[in-house]
Amino acid sequence: MTSEISFTKGHGTENDFVLVADPDGSWNPDAALVAAICDRRAGLGGDGLIRAVRTAAAPDAAALAGQAEWFMDYRNADGSIAEMCGNGVRVFAEFLLRGGFLPAGAGDGDWFPVATRAGLKRLRREADGSWTADMGPWSLTGGRRALADGSDALVQVHGLDGVARPALSVDLGNPHTVVALPHAAELEAADLTRAPEVQPVPPHGTNVELVVPVDVLDVDGDGDPDVGDIAMRVHERGSGETRSCGTGACAAALATRAWAGEGAPDVWRVRVPGGRLVVTVGAGSSLAEGTVWLSGPARLVATGTFRLPA
């Protein structure tokens, strides 16, 4: 039985992860062990644990065998399983590359595939060392039907005025609920030590993003706004408040774009407490569904061994 594991610690805009290479899928930690590893006082600490398993050895990726060599097994800090992690998949790509699990130069100017529970994602390494993830399909899941104001849910955020706010549900392979706040002061005042209360209650839980519009820029100078700028905080399902969330940044940008309506930008800068991400909506996307890319840093900061609790 394994008594210790080799790990790498990494983060993407301070959304931090413990990464473990398990090529043959022989180490399958239960929820309690994942939570112990992610514990910031008694363990290594992390918003999540990422296991790198060869797709051929990963039952959860059976449908993708032959399409990607590696499967990203993502677990939240409480040990729950998540379908996808946008910051995590960039850090995963850096981990595979630096660990020699991919041919040298993989991702440079070209895409390579990664299997996730939310399907196949493609990764590309940019000249500055950051990564772009082709996050694949997204959709507004509530159909913007339930309420007349372009929302499909109500969210009560602790620490504000007690009023339930309209929100929009976005599926990025994992579930998100985005709430627009009018002022940066409200974004700061929100108490995310407790999960915001979402109605109707999402069947599989949800990540909740609070978003404030900052600016709309005409970067190419043609008179039309082409880059949106928003600020976001997030309460993640299974992890609590984190300093960034990649799928959350995509959801926040896509919800803001939907609220803005036709003519809204397809490129969004998303400010999060841990840095900045760029979200690019795929060509041919409508306001309600399409594809999306996520760009941002991926940093590996430590390696070591962790003694597993007896």
Binding-site residues sit at 15, 76, 86-87, 174, 207, 236-237, 246-247
Under a CB-based contact definition with an 8 Å cutoff, are residues 201 and 109 in contact? no
Least Å distance, CB 92 to ligand LBFN2T5F, is 11
Helix ranges, the chain (H): 31-38, 86-98, 184-189, 246-260
Between residues 97 and 172, which has the closer beta carbon with respect to ligand LBFN2T5F? 172
Between residues 43 and 173, which has the closer beta carbon with respect to ligand LBFN2T5F? 173
- What whole-number distance in Å separates Cα of residue 168 and Cα of residue 191? 20
Least Å distance, CB 268 to ligand LBFN2T5F, is 15
Is 250 an active-site residue? no
CA angle 239, 244, 247 (to 5 degrees): 85
Q: Which residues are annotated as a binding site for substrate?
A: 15, 76, 86-87, 174, 207, 236-237, 246-247
Q: In Å, how far are 113, 216, 218, 219, 278 from 222, measured between CA atoms?
A: 36, 13, 7, 8, 21
- What whole-number distance in Å separates Cα of residue 21 and Cα of residue 27? 9
Between residues 25 and 274, which has the closer beta carbon with respect to ligand LBFN2T5F? 274
Looking at 34, 84, 89, 245, which residue is catalytic? 245
Least Å distance, CB 175 to ligand LBFN2T5F, is 7
Is beta strand 15-21 parallel, antiparallel or unpaired with respect to 70-76?
A: unpaired
Could you tell me which of 193, 160, 130 has the C-alpha nearest to residue 179?
160
Least Å distance, CB 48 to ligand LBFN2T5F, is 6
Between residues 20 and 82, which has the closer beta carbon with respect to ligand LBFN2T5F? 82
Residues that bind ligand LBFN2T5F (CB under 6 A): 15, 48, 76, 82, 85-88, 174, 207, 236-239, 242, 245-248
Is 85 an active-site residue? yes
Q: In Å, how far are 24, 174, 193, 263, 274 from 224, measured between CA atoms?
A: 52, 32, 39, 8, 30
Peptide bond between residue 200 and the one before it cis (omega within 30 degrees of 0): yes
Within 8 A by CB and 6+ apart from 145, the residues are 152
Looking at 85, 249, 292, 294, which residue is catalytic? 85
- What whole-number distance in Å separates Cα of residue 33 and Cα of residue 308? 8
Least Å distance, CB 173 to ligand LBFN2T5F, is 8
Between residues 264 and 272, which has the closer beta carbon with respect to ligand LBFN2T5F? 272
Residues acting as catalytic residues: 85, 245
